[in-house]
Structure 1
Amino acid sequence: MPDVPVSADSYLHYGDGFQGGQFYLYSIQPHSEIGLAYSLLNKISKKGVGIMLSLSLNEQNIKNVPRLVIGAPQGRSGKTTFTLGLLRAFARQGMAVQPFKKGPDYIDASWHTAAAGYTCRNLDSFFMKRNQICKSIFDQSVEKNITIIEGAMGLYDGLDLQGSSSTAEIAKVTRTPVLFVVDATRMTRSIAAMVMGYQHFDPDVQIVGVVLNKVARVRHEKMAREAIEEFCNIPVVGAIPKDVNLCIPDRHLGLVTKGEFDETDKLLDYFADVISEHVDLDKILTLARSAPELPSCSESIVPNLTVEYSLKNRGLKPKIGIIQDAAFSFYYPENIEALKGLGAEVVPISALSDNQLPGDLDGLYIGGGFPEVFAAKLEENETLRGDIRIAGENGLPIYAECGGLMYLGRSIRTSSQNFEMVGLLPFDTQMEGKPQGHGYTIMETNPDQSWFEEKAEIKGHEFHNSKVINLAPHVKFGLIVKRGHGIDGQHDGICYKNVFAAYNHIHALGCPEWAEGMINIAVNYHMSKWTQADKLLS
């Protein structure tokens, strides 16, 4: 089979491709810093499956991605409302804006997606490698005019003294300039001292502009602006007045989810109106265009398609249901894309409105969310709960995270009521007034599970105000907690038949074996159904 030569200033770019069942399209595009030549298979044909490779060249050097990190001295400075208004303001100008959120955050990311009109991605150096972070920006920013990365907490706040997993680390890893949002409440000249400290704390972090938030009056803005531009030598590109309407309602796990808010677009348009009036959008675009080239991400460019090829060659396409609704909305897009990339057919399901599971499912994925908020509606849907319980008892592979774990138990208990859930797993969950688990996690896999290799290290995160109670003593756990809380401080991942339910959330880029494990279990289940059918017919 002949090799296809590739010039040194090109790189392999792969995406969704053509997924009509037979062919997948991969393309070559310019990449100025990768001096590598890739040998590409011209065509693979085995049992009717082909891979088509296209050498289409794009003249634009897409490593020069216009981009900014939105940082702040601390949380509650106004980063999120500013970012949402900025995304929507650029989008209303007809610009293609790619949003990112630093850290493990589902809710802010969903608001970003609504504001920009493009799916927000998360960047996290705890469970993502540096080249994966750069590659995510690289891939998603193709044909976009600007990329905006919203930070989390204070700019330098991280896990340790070195600031690992901080917003600043993301800025450094990706060589992205920082636009600094400062709450100007009761400060004028002192803001310059604060900004100067952040400028010099780490010389590798480039703060290129400031946005003043909660400005009281014209004189307040003038004094702060002049001090920053005089002593810090960077421009103030916006001054947002105090406005009680510049907020999104929140609850125990953060902002209210976008799906629960009836007037999402009206609110986002209001944010954009304020930003358009009080912020210099042209100047921000100029600052974004000053970003240097992204670091090379060549290590992660060529995908491992071994599992995909083997599944395709066996003619299998497992059907996996995903419960996605207002109650269960915590999914990283990469997780769903990983399942699709390995050949799965993904079917959306609502636990609130669908009264039965789709036919011929080979697996079920239930993410996190707020089942406690929608507990009454979930309880009302008794037929679906019964369908899931029977399917699980009959061996359907089910992977559940956090809210999904709660849903599979017997009940959810609040301070005033008790709501029946699926009843597949032998426990109840009790809602508490403060977090029972919050932060990054490190788990080690047990042999009593079939989803991951034994003694593998699984990095993830958790954030839950519920705790498991009345847990049956015979339960088997698939995970040993090395960092975090899990179910009881020592274990996570309840295993029952083909069910795996944990508080731990994983990201497919940080845990690629998760998707492979789910696909393998789903394929085995699919084949076992046909084997049983053959026995009945023989």
Structure 2
Amino acid sequence: MLSGGLVIAGERSGVGKTTVTLALLAALAQKSERVQSFKVGPDYIDPMFHRQATGRPCYNLDPILTSETYVQQCFAHRCRDAEFALVEGVMGLFDGASGRSDVASTAHVARLLNLPVLLVVDCGRLSRSVLAIIHGYRTLDPRVQIAGVVLNRVGSDRHLDLLTEAIASLDIPILGVLRRQDAIALPDRHLGLVPTAELPQLPDILDRLATLGHTSFTWTALIPLLTLHPSPSSPSSPSSPPHLISSSPPTPKPRLAIAQDAAFSFYYPDNLDILTALGAELVPWSPLQEEHPPADIDGLYFGGGFPEMFAAALAANQGLRTQLKVLLQAGLPAYAECGGLMYLATTLIDLDDRPWPMVGLLPTTVRMQSRLTLGYRRAKVQRPSVLLAEGQTVWGHEFHRSQTDRLPDCPVYQLQRYGAEQPHGAEGWSLHRVQASYLHLHWGGCPEVAQALVTACSRYRQNREQAA
């Protein structure tokens, strides 16, 4: 086992914890190539920025989508060759998934990993009241160790003096100060930050964040907290990823095409690692830029993303859309989440109410909405698919502003909101050997789904070779 690492938490959403996290990561990455980051919760976009800052994948720590044990094993496994570890929290420190408890909160994960917390406080509209905020967060749960605070959006030297004087009675270190003029704006849109693939100015932003990191924090106190150390009294860190391998990898490896471009970029690194460990050969490709699917593939994986922002380009690639529909109708296995479902639909109506033809496999129109559908879902399978058995239960997460105009006669899932007792609705398509749904799955919590996808691809390859 390892000791060391630090959690960055906010006293609420919007206080600047992502800016603080990226400033620390960018500065650390100039000191070391072995900086491992993590993100609490199901978010896809913040981890993209982490990866650009550190050059390493950022892994999600989500005890609902996976489990408490998986969170601990994932942290230990991914840190085994790192020098520093940093975990970015979600929402406010004690804000859990249900709003009634701190389950899946930053505090929950900090306790699971036994890590200290650096609390980011927005000081933009307060002075002495900062004392009450920090005191409350420090004492609410004695199991959570607040190692220090970062004062963000400090207006002036006089403002800083007032804040410092107020905090002095708490005997808690101020480990960072960011001024109002230090703000580095990251562009956003209807689902959060704009993904990194769409930001040509990102290298300049990261350079500015690194400078901010070097000049705004007390590194003599932070480095000991961030540094990882092997624990001599505990067993060594697990050498294999924290997931179940139920069978020997197939030979030869099935080729699974992964749609990866600006339109399709929402993938948990764990999911791709699990597919590789199960024996799949992953073949990245771009539905935006390529006129044909990759050659000799045995399956397709369409992740989430922003197809609505690139609907015109996706629609213009008519030859590819036709080829994909023919392949999928002929039995090529495929798994599509959220943006992938939108792409496989008949029509996508974008934010400006313009219709665009898509692949046309699913007999439904997808329309962008002003309302956000968001939250954890317990999904019980009521119609079996190429990946799921009837009666099976998985945990997933919805995060979308589009809706289909119809459901299949028998949807794949019966959904239930996290913390609710009543059914939430039905969702998901199973057609030919394709499963498409708005539900995002983390296969650390259901590796059998990844195993089923690899098995389906392997069988397709065997049939393809026999027919050749």
What TM-score do the two structures reach when normalised by structure 1? Answer: 0.82
Q: In the alignment, residue 493 of structure 1 is paired with which amino acid?
A: G
Deviations 1:190-248 (A, max 9, x none): 112110100110000000101100000011112212322x2221100111100274120
- Contact 1:67–1:148 under 8 Å retained in 2: yes
Q: How does 1:371-382 map to 2 (within 5 A)?
A: 371-382=307-318
Q: Equivalent of 1:505, from 436, 440, 444?
A: 440
Q: How does 1:314-393 map to 2 (within 5 A)?
A: 315-393=251-329
Q: In the alignment, residue 503 of structure 1 is paired with which amino acid?
A: Y
Which residue number corresponds to residue 248 of structure 1? 186
- 2:358 paired with 1:424: no
1:514 deviates by 1.2
- 2:407 paired with 1:451: no
Q: Could you say what secondary structure the match of 1:374 adopts?
A: helix
Q: How does 1:174-253 map to 2 (within 5 A)?
A: 174-228=113-167, 230-243=168-181, 245-253=183-191
Which residue number corresponds to residue 105 of structure 2? 166
Q: Could you say what secondary structure the match of 1:433 adopts?
A: strand
Q: Could you say what secondary structure the match of 1:439 adopts?
A: strand
Deviations 1:284-328 (A, max 9, x none): 112335999699887997864441x2x44xx33111100000000
Larger Rg: 1
Q: In the alignment, residue 81 of structure 2 is paired with which amino acid?
A: E
1:512 deviates by 0.7
Q: In the alignment, residue 401 of structure 1 is paired with which amino acid?
A: E
- Contact 2:26–2:213 under 8 Å retained in 1: no
- Percent identical residues: 38
1:271 deviates by 1.5
Q: Could you say what secondary structure the match of 2:222 adopts?
A: helix
Change (3 A) 1:300 1:346: closer
For 1:454 and 1:130, how far apart are their aligned partners in 2? 26
- 2:388 paired with 1:479: no
For 2:201 and 2:242, how far apart are their aligned partners in 1? 42
Deviations 1:345-370 (A, max 9, x none): 11111011110012221110000000
Q: Could you say what secondary structure the match of 1:372 adopts?
A: helix
Q: Equivalent of 2:457, from 514, 522, 530?
A: 522
Q: Could you say what secondary structure the match of 2:362 adopts?
A: coil
1:128 deviates by 2.0
Tell me how large the CA RMSD over aligned residues is.
Answer: 2.3
Change (3 A) 1:413 1:301: closer
- Contact 2:416–2:424 under 8 Å retained in 1: no
Change (3 A) 1:264 1:496: same
- Contact 1:105–1:122 under 8 Å retained in 2: yes
For 2:28 and 2:450, how far apart are their aligned partners in 1? 35
- Contact 1:70–1:148 under 8 Å retained in 2: yes
Unmatched 5+ stretches in structure 1: 1-30, 32-62, 534-538
- 2:63 paired with 1:128: no
- Contact 1:135–1:300 under 8 Å retained in 2: no
- Contact 1:240–1:275 under 8 Å retained in 2: no
For 1:275 and 1:300, how far apart are their aligned partners in 2? 34
For 1:489 and 1:457, how far apart are their aligned partners in 2? 15
Q: Could you say what secondary structure the match of 1:126 adopts?
A: coil
Q: Could you say what secondary structure the match of 2:102 adopts?
A: coil
Q: Could you say what secondary structure the match of 2:71 adopts?
A: helix
Deviations 1:407-453 (A, max 9, x none): 00011102331111101110010001121x20111101124323123
Deviates more, 1:323-332 or 1:447-456: 447-456
Change (3 A) 1:182 1:525: same
For 2:461 and 2:268, how far apart are their aligned partners in 1? 25
Q: Could you say what secondary structure the match of 2:186 adopts?
A: coil
Q: Could you say what secondary structure the match of 1:387 adopts?
A: helix
Q: Aligned pair count?
A: 461
- 2:208 paired with 1:278: no
Change (3 A) 1:145 1:357: same
For 2:100 and 2:229, how far apart are their aligned partners in 1? 27
For 1:316 and 1:493, how far apart are their aligned partners in 2? 31
- Contact 1:85–1:269 under 8 Å retained in 2: no
Q: In the alignment, residue 74 of structure 1 is paired with which amino acid?
A: R
- Contact 1:70–1:178 under 8 Å retained in 2: yes
Change (3 A) 1:95 1:520: closer
Which residue number corresponds to residue 469 of structure 1? 405
1:176 deviates by 0.5
For 1:367 and 1:271, how far apart are their aligned partners in 2? 29
Which residue number corresponds to residue 399 of structure 1? 335
Change (3 A) 1:376 1:345: same
- Contact 2:263–2:309 under 8 Å retained in 1: yes
- Contact 1:430–1:469 under 8 Å retained in 2: yes
Q: In the alignment, residue 109 of structure 1 is paired with which amino acid?
A: P
- Contact 1:321–1:348 under 8 Å retained in 2: yes
Change (3 A) 1:114 1:303: closer
1:337 deviates by 1.1
What TM-score do the two structures reach when normalised by structure 2? Answer: 0.93
RCO higher in structure (CA 8 A, sep ≥6): 2
Q: In the alignment, residue 413 of structure 2 is paired with which amino acid?
A: L
Which residue number corresponds to residue 266 of structure 1? 204
Change (3 A) 1:152 1:344: same
For 2:138 and 2:223, how far apart are their aligned partners in 1? 21
Q: Could you say what secondary structure the match of 1:329 adopts?
A: strand
Unmatched 5+ stretches in structure 2: none
Change (3 A) 1:304 1:104: closer
Change (3 A) 1:231 1:95: farther
- Contact 2:266–2:303 under 8 Å retained in 1: yes
Change (3 A) 1:84 1:256: same
For 2:271 and 2:32, how far apart are their aligned partners in 1? 29
Which residue number corresponds to residue 287 of structure 1? 225
